[in-house]
Copies of this chain bind each other. A is one copy, B any other.
Amino acid sequence: MPISGFPEWMPPQRMIEQRVLDRIRSTFELYGFSPLETRSVEPLETLVSKGETSKEVYLLRRLQADENAKDDDSLGLHFDLTVPFARFVVENAGKLQFPFRRYQIQKVWRGERPQEGRYREFLQADIDVVNRGELPFHYDTEMPLVIGDALSGLPIPAIRIQVNNRKVCEGFYRGLGLADTAQVLRTVDKLDKIGPARVAEALIETAGATRAQAEACLELAAISAEDGSFVDAVRKLGVDDPLLDEGLNELLQVVETARENAPGLVVAELKIARGLDYYTGTVYETQLRGYERFGSVSSGGRYDNLAASGNERFPGVGYSIGVSRMLGVLFGQNALSVSRSVPTCVLVALPNEDQRPDCVRIASALRRRGIPTEVAPSAAKFGKQIQYADRRGIPYVWFPGEPDTVKDIRSGDQVEADAAAWLPPAGDLHPVISAG
């Protein structure tokens, strides 16, 4: 039976997912990110020390654990790839070259209550750059370009990256005279869920804001611009604070770099906050154009204090593509399809079982030249063998003979062919992914 929150794609959907992952991975490598996988488990104390999702952890217990042995009681499945990466960097700092650029494509788990209908197992594709000591800001400007590139060249909707900077918010709140800036940020983060009126009430009730301060926070959150004009819009609100200045300058660099290299990709959206506690500057969210109502499919940000060892700090900036979430949205809307349900390009028909060795030789010859090939399961009537191909979308059936012939079962065209030389049109070699 299906288990709530643990999605399983059928093979055609998995083929689409793999094509998407191939694009993501090759793009990450084009930008010089090294591959990494960390173990799926972390000690519970590592998991609960960071961020607010720590409460949604799955703990492991050995079925045959001794009563006395506590060894596995403290292991939990990781709920993201950033916390394990930070742990890995500190643990292996002596063996790594800094700044360290890595990508990581793995499953993560969240022990949510099943009735919520949310994923409890899903695939993420992360990039991060971490340095020892200080991490130059320009890496924050590079992240959106990598993600924009990784998710282009695929038959999925274009993305739009919403960017903000926590220093802008915190500096602004502080400049307004609000002391508990973290509480203000958490409250404003609920804007899309509960609306401005209730956010204002909550700011007054829980963050000690006056009506005027609450209104100013909402005005800041309403600012949105595809260019540097957001700086003037913030300035007009009349708040002055050095952290605000620093944040505006950083945010401007992200927006301007994107405008130059990938016009239309990035928008400054000053309501974006990101729930996770470990972000300290830039924050990113990502929407699929036309699918904005499904929320962010990819997010990240700058974290200056996630990893530390003694006096050493390892600040980082990263971005995580929510692959399962993104594909779940698109599959749910039937927005992606694939030209066949198997990798096979050619089915070698079997005239009779005695000829199987010959058919295996033909298949081997085709495979040696990169053509995905199967031999028919049995020496059924050719009509049934063609049906085997047709039901799977296999485009070609090969008939051994003197000479051999190959038939395009879509057009019915049949031509003489030599297994040592024949090639299908390039577009037929592998399954093709398309929109809709």
Which A residues fall within an 8 A CB radius of B? 1-3, 6-11, 14-15, 18, 29-41, 43-44, 55-65, 69, 71-72, 75-77, 88, 91-92, 95, 97, 99, 101-102, 107, 109, 111, 113-114, 121, 131, 136, 138, 142, 145, 149, 257, 260-261, 341-344, 356-357, 360-361, 364, 367, 370-374, 377-378, 391-392
**Quick check: A374 and B121 within 8 Å, CB to CB?**
no
User: Given A111-B60, A261-B360 in contact, is the A41-B11 Cβ separation under 8 Å?
Assistant: no
User: Given A3-B41, A102-B11, A136-B378 in contact, is the A31-B367 Cβ separation under 8 Å?
Assistant: yes
**Quick check: B342 and A34 within 8 Å, CB to CB?**
yes
Interchain CB contact (< 8 A) of A343 among B33, B62, B69, B72: B33
Provide a sorted-by-A list of 21 A–B residue pairs whose CB atoms are within 8 angstroms.
A1-B91, A3-B43, A6-B40, A8-B39, A9-B37, A15-B34, A30-B373, A31-B373, A34-B341, A35-B343, A56-B64, A57-B62, A58-B61, A59-B60, A59-B61, A63-B76, A63-B111, A71-B114, A72-B114, A131-B377, A257-B360
- Find the B residue at minimum CB distance from A75: B3
Q: Which residues of B contact A1 (CB under 8 A)?
A: 43, 91
Interchain CB contact (< 8 A) of A374 among B32, B55, B65, B371: B32
Interchain CB contact (< 8 A) of A58 among B44, B62, B391: B62
The docked-state distance in angstroms from the alpha carbon of A30 to that of B367 is: 6
Q: Which residues of B contact A361 (CB under 8 A)?
A: 261
The docked-state distance in angstroms from the alpha carbon of A356 to that of B139 is: 11
Q: Which residues of B contact A77 (CB under 8 A)?
A: 60
Minimum CB–CB distance from A95 to chain B (whole Å) comes to 6
Q: Which residues of B contact A131 (CB under 8 A)?
A: 377
**Quick check: B32 and A364 within 8 Å, CB to CB?**
no
- Find the B residue at minimum CB distance from A353: B138
